[in-house]
Structure 1
Amino acid sequence: MTMPILYSLRQCPYAMRSRLAILHAGQIVILRDIDMKNKPEDMLSVSPKATVPVLVLGDGNVIDESIEVMVWALTQSDPRNLLYSHDKNQLPAMLELIRSNDVTFVCALQKYRAASRYHDDNKTEHRDTCCEWLMPIEQRLSQHAYIMGEQPSLVDYAILPFIRQFSRVDKRWYAQAPLPNLRAWLTKHYNDPTFSKVMVSYPKWKKDDKPVVFGDV
C-alpha cells in the first residue's frame, strides 16, 4: 500500500501535534512541509480548506483535522498507551479537554499574542483569560506528572504546541508566573528527544522533490 502523505508546516501548532502523534505511534509518512503563501495544488485538490495538517492515506482517504490525525495514528499503534485504553471513560474526557483548549484557550491565546505584538493595552486582560483556563491544568499537574495521570496521554501532546506558544509571548513574565508545574511539564517535553525530531526543519516541498520520510525510521 502507498505510504501516507502528511502536508505539514513546522511551526503550526495543529501540524505539530499531528507529527507528535505520528512519532509516538511509530508510524511512517511522507512529509511535505508547505509554503502557506504558495499552497500546492496537490494539497488543495484533496482538502479545499487549505490549512495543515492534511493526511492522505494510502487508500486515498483524507484526514484534515489535527485531532483526527492524532487519533488515527494512535489507533494504528499506541505503544505508550496515550489513549489510556485501560479506561474507556478517559478518551471522551480527553477529547472534551482538547476541544476546550481548541475553542476557549486558543481564542484567548490568539488575542494575547496579537495584543503583545501590537502593544495593545488589553494584553494583561487577555493573558489573564489564558491563565484562567490554565489554572485547572496547573492543579492537575500538581497532583501527577502529566495532565491525565502519571503517564502521558493524548491531551499532553495535543495542547503542548499551544502551551509552547503561550510561554513564548512574554518570556520574562512566564518565567515567574504562578504556573510552576506547567513550566516543569513543558520543560520535560522540551527535553524529550521526540520533541526535537518534531521540530526538525525541512525544505519547503516542491512537486519533483525527493520524498522526505518522517516517522519511525
Structure 2
Amino acid sequence: MTLPILYSLRRCPYAMRARIGILLAKQPVMLRDIVMKNIPAEMIAVSPKATVPVLVLADSTIIDESLDIMLWALQQSDPSNLLFKEDSRAFPSMLNLIHHNDNEFVESLEKYKVAARYHDIAEVFYRNQCEIFITDLEGRLTSSEYLMGDKPCLADYALLPFVRQFSRVDRKWYLHSPYTNIQRWLNTHYQNPLFSKAMKKYPQWLDNHESVLIGTD
C-alpha cells in the first residue's frame, strides 16, 4: 500500500495545522521534514510554489493548502466529530472563523512579529490590530470551553498554531494581558498529548531520505 507523503516544516504554523489534522483523523502518512533554505527538488516538482505543507496522495493528487489538508484528512475519518456533522450551520461558521484568521489576523500577526523582532515603534500598533481578532476569540471562550461550544471543532485546531504564535511574540505582555480565556484554551491544547505528537522533532529528510510514519495512533 502506497501512503500519502507530507512535506512539512516543524515550526511553520501552516505545516503544524496540517500535521494536527492528520493526527486527529488518524490518517497514516509518510512525513518528510524539510528546511526552507534547502527545499527538496522532489517537493518543488509537485508544488512549484515551494511552501509547506504539501501532501502528495497515492494517486499523485497534490494538496498544498493547510486547511485543505485538514479537510481531506477529516473527510477520510473524523473520530472526534470535529466537523459537527449533525449541525448543518456549524461547518460554514467554522470556515468563516478560519477565513478571518487566515486573511486578516495572520497579516497583522506577521507585522507584529517583525516589529517586535526589530524593536520597531509600530509593535504596539500591530499588536492592537491583532487584538481585534483575539478579543473576538476571548469573547467566544467566555461562555464555552472551546470556540464553538464545549467540545473542540475544526476551528479550534486550525487557529491553534497562529494564536500560539501571537502568545509568544511578547511573552511577558501576553501573560499579563486580559486574555485569560485564551490562555486557558491554549494551555488545554498544550496538555493534550496530540500537541506533543504534532510538534515532535524528526530528522531532516534530505539527510537520509527516510520518511517517518505518522498518524497511526
Same fold (TM over 0.5): yes
Secondary structure of the corresponding residue to residue 104 of structure 1: helix
Judge which range, 9-18 or 81-90, deviates more: 81-90
Alignment match, 1:191: 191
Please list the CA deviations of residues 49-103 of structure 1 after superposition, one character each: whole Å capped at 9, or x if unmatched.
1000000001110100000000000000001011111112111111111011011
Could you say which residue in structure 1 is the equivalent of 2:201? 201
Counterpart position of 2:6: 6
Distance between the aligned counterparts of 1:215 and 1:53, measured in 2? 15
SS of 2:49's partner is coil
* Equivalence for 1:19: 19
Instruction: Give the corresponding residue for 1:170.
Output: 170
User: Alpha-carbon deviations, 1:93-144, whole Å to 9, x = none?
Assistant: 1111101101110011011111100000011111111111111110110010
Matched, 1:137 2:137: yes
1:43 aligns with 2:43: yes
Question: How much has 1:207 moved relative to structure 2?
Answer: 7.5
Pairwise CA distance, 1:210: 2.7
Whether 1:62 and 2:38 are equivalent positions in the alignment is no
Distance 2:7 2:209 in 1: 14
- Name the CA distance, whole Å, in 2 between partners of 1:184 and 1:208: 40
Partner of 1:80: 80
Letter in 1 for 2:185: W
Query: How far off its partner does 1:208 sit?
Result: 5.0
Alignment-mate amino acid for residue 98 of structure 1: I
Q: How does 1:86-165 map to 2 (within 5 A)?
A: 86-165=86-165
Which sections of structure 1, spanning at least 5 residues, go unmatched? none
- Which segment is superposed worse, 207-216 or 113-122? 207-216
Q: Distance in 2 between matches of 1:97 and 1:68?
A: 15
Q: d(CA) in 2 for partners of 1:117 and 1:207? A: 31
CA–CA separation in structure 2 for the residues paired with 1:187 and 1:3: 33
Runs of 4+ deviating beyond 6 Å: none
Q: Which TM-score applies when normalising by structure 1?
A: 0.98
Cα displacement string for residues 20-77 of structure 1 (whole angstroms, at most 9, x for unaligned residues): 0100101110000112111111111111110000000011101000000000000000
In 2, Cα distance between the equivalents of 1:208 and 1:118? 36
Aligned AA (2:24): H
Aligned identity (percent) is 54
Question: Hey, what does 2:182 align to over in structure 1?
Answer: 182
Secondary structure at the residue paired with 2:6? strand
1:6 is paired with a residue of what secondary structure? Answer: strand
Partner Cα distance (1:58, 1:168) in 2: 37
* CA RMSD between the two structures: 1.0
Instruction: Give the letter aligned to residue 128 of structure 1.
Output: N
What residue identity is the alignment partner of 2:152? P
- Equivalent-residue separation in structure 2 for 1:114 and 1:169 (angstroms): 9
* Cα distance in structure 2, aligned partners of 1:79 and 1:56: 23
**3-state SS of paired residue (2:141):** helix
Q: How many residues are treated as equivalent by the alignment? A: 217
TM-score w.r.t. length of structure 2 = 0.98
